[in-house]
């Protein structure tokens, strides 16, 4: 354990003793499928929990969830049981062997989720309770955007866009960012460059998307980190054991660790006190109630 990580841990536990906080909510999107969003999210959550953060990963790729697969787990329930069996979130939440909790997205080809009526009320109420329990709640969206997943991205305190240097990924990420920022200009956005051949390639690709966003939408997203194209990622997927656990010395694992530590250091000042209503919940309620009754 290096000194820097230890210092960070001590600073955080001191801050936690001083103020009970509300979870910071983060929506993870990519625009295009296959950019490595789920692998990144699982490993990032794992690293944050190693840094003593209480983390919940909500797999919102409903019906096509793969967080449990990446963790090598076969959970009994999934978020689908919230609709089908009226289970509470507490009955669905799984404790991963990697230290963080998660809500599985489940598998069912023709299921879709629609939040309205009593389900919407129960969902909001239960999620509100979870924001008092965790330090971070991550929403892993499916590739592409549905009306529902967009609401979570717009309400979240921050959005991470997982992007590769391929022109198709950059273009899709730009479209996703544009959509989010036009609907919610205050959204904080960070970009994680993935599958890069070199640091320079990652930095250049980030520079391209960031300058277009700055020129056309006056918004410059932060760079969360640059992750290398590393064959160990796929080996870990095959082993169904997150790479930061199965190959802790791999280049990818080192970069994730670095990104998690600097993200945490940057978020040290983020404290939403539990005595106040959550801004995230307020935004989510407003977004869902404004679309309820519009049909479709
Ligand atoms: N940095 C990396 N280096 C090499 N391979 C990677 C890297 N990141 C992800 N991959 C590989 O890319 C593929 C897609 O990864 P993953 O399933 O995490 O993507 P995703 O964006 O969540 O996909 P989708 O959104 O379509 O579900 C997997 O085969 C994974 O092993």
Confirm whether 128 is domain-assigned. yes
Instruction: With residue 179 as reference, give the H or E element that holds it.
Output: helix 167-183
Q: How far is the CA of 27 from the centre of ligand 1 (A)?
A: 17
Confirm whether 226 is domain-assigned. yes
Query: Of residues 60 and 148, which shows the higher confidence score?
Result: 60
Q: How far is the CA of 54 from the centre of ligand 1 (A)?
A: 25
Confirm whether 170 is domain-assigned. yes
Confirm whether 82 is domain-assigned. yes
Confirm whether 189 is domain-assigned. yes
User: What are the residues whose beta carbons fall under 8 Å from the beta carbon of 286, sequence distance 6 or more?
Assistant: none
Whether 275 shows a pLDDT value over 60: the answer reads no
- Determine if ligand 1 sits within 6 Å of the CB of residue 33: yes
Strand order in the sheet with 24-29: 94-95, 101-103, 55-59, 136-140, 24-29, 158-163, 188-196, 222-228
Task: Using only the alpha carbons of the chain, give its radius of gyration.
Answer: 18
Most confident of 16-25, 96-105, 227-236: 227-236
Count CB-CB contacts under 10 A for residue 178: 15
- Which pTM was predicted? 0.89
Tokens for 285? Answer: 């309620």
- Determine if ligand 1 sits within 6 Å of the CB of residue 35: yes
Confirm whether 9 is domain-assigned. no
Indicate the pLDDT class of residue 143, thresholds 50, 70 and 90. low
**Domain span including residue 221:** 22-289
Confirm whether 285 is domain-assigned. yes
What pLDDT score does 92 carry?
Answer: 96
Q: In whole angstroms, what separates CA 278 from the centre of its chain?
A: 18
- CATH code of the domain containing 56: 3.40.50.300
- Determine if ligand 1 sits within 6 Å of the CB of residue 144: no
Mutate which of 28, 33, 36 for ligand 1? The one with the most ligand atoms within 8 Å of its CB, which is: 36
Whether 295 shows a pLDDT value over 50: the answer reads no
Average pLDDT in the 82-101 region? 92
Strands 101-103 and 94-95: antiparallel
Confirm whether 7 is domain-assigned. no
Is 59:79 a contact under the CB 8 Å cutoff? yes
What pLDDT score does 13 carry?
Answer: 58
- Determine if ligand 1 sits within 6 Å of the CB of residue 233: yes
Question: Cα dihedral angle (141, 190, 260, 9), rounded to 10 degrees?
Answer: -110
Q: In whole angstroms, what separates CA 219 from the centre of its chain?
A: 21
List Cα–Cα distances, 47 to 82, 184, 254, 293, in angstroms: 28, 29, 10, 41
How many domains does the chain fold into? 1
Whether 87 shows a pLDDT value over 60: the answer reads yes
Q: What is the pLDDT of residues 168-211, one digit of tens each?
A: 999 999 998 998 899 888 889 999 999 999 999 999 999 999 99
Tokens for 124? Answer: 């909001």
């Amino acid at each position: 354990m290096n000194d820097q990580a230890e210092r960070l841990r001590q600073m955080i536990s001191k801050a936690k003793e001083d103020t009970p906080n509300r979870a910071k909510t983060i929506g993870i999107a990519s625009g295009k499928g296959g950019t490595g969003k789920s692998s990144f999210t699982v490993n990032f959550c794992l690293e944050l929990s190693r840094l003593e953060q209480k983390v919940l990963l909500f797999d919102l790729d409903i019906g096509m969830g793969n967080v449990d697969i990446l963790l090598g787990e076969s959970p009994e329930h999934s978020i689908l049981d919230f609709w089908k069996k009226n289970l509470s979130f507490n009955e669905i939440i799984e404790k991963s062997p990697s230290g963080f909790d998660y809500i599985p997205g489940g598998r069912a080809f023709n299921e879709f989720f629609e939040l309205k009526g009593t389900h919407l009320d129960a969902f909001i109420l239960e999620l509100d309770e979870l924001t008092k329990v965790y330090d971070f709640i991550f929403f892993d969206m499916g590739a592409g955007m549905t009306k529902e997943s967009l609401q979570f991205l717009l309400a979240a305190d921050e959005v991470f866009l997982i992007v590769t240097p391929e022109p198709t990924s950059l273009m899709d990420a730009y479209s996703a960012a544009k959509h989010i920022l036009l609907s919610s200009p205050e959204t904080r956005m960070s970009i994680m460059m993935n599958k890069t051949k070199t640091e320079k390639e990652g930095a250049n690709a980030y520079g391209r998307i960031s300058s277009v966003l700055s020129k056309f939408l006056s918004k410059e997203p932060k760079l969360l980190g640059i992750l290398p194209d590393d064959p160990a990622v796929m080996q870990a997927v095959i082993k169904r054991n997150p790479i930061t656990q199965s190959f802790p010395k791999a280049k990818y694992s080192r970069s994730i660790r670095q990104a998690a530590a600097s993200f945490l250091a940057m978020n040290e000042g983020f404290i939403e006190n539990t005595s106040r209503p959550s801004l995230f919940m307020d935004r989510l309620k407003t977004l869902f109630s404004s679309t309820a009754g519009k049909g479709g």
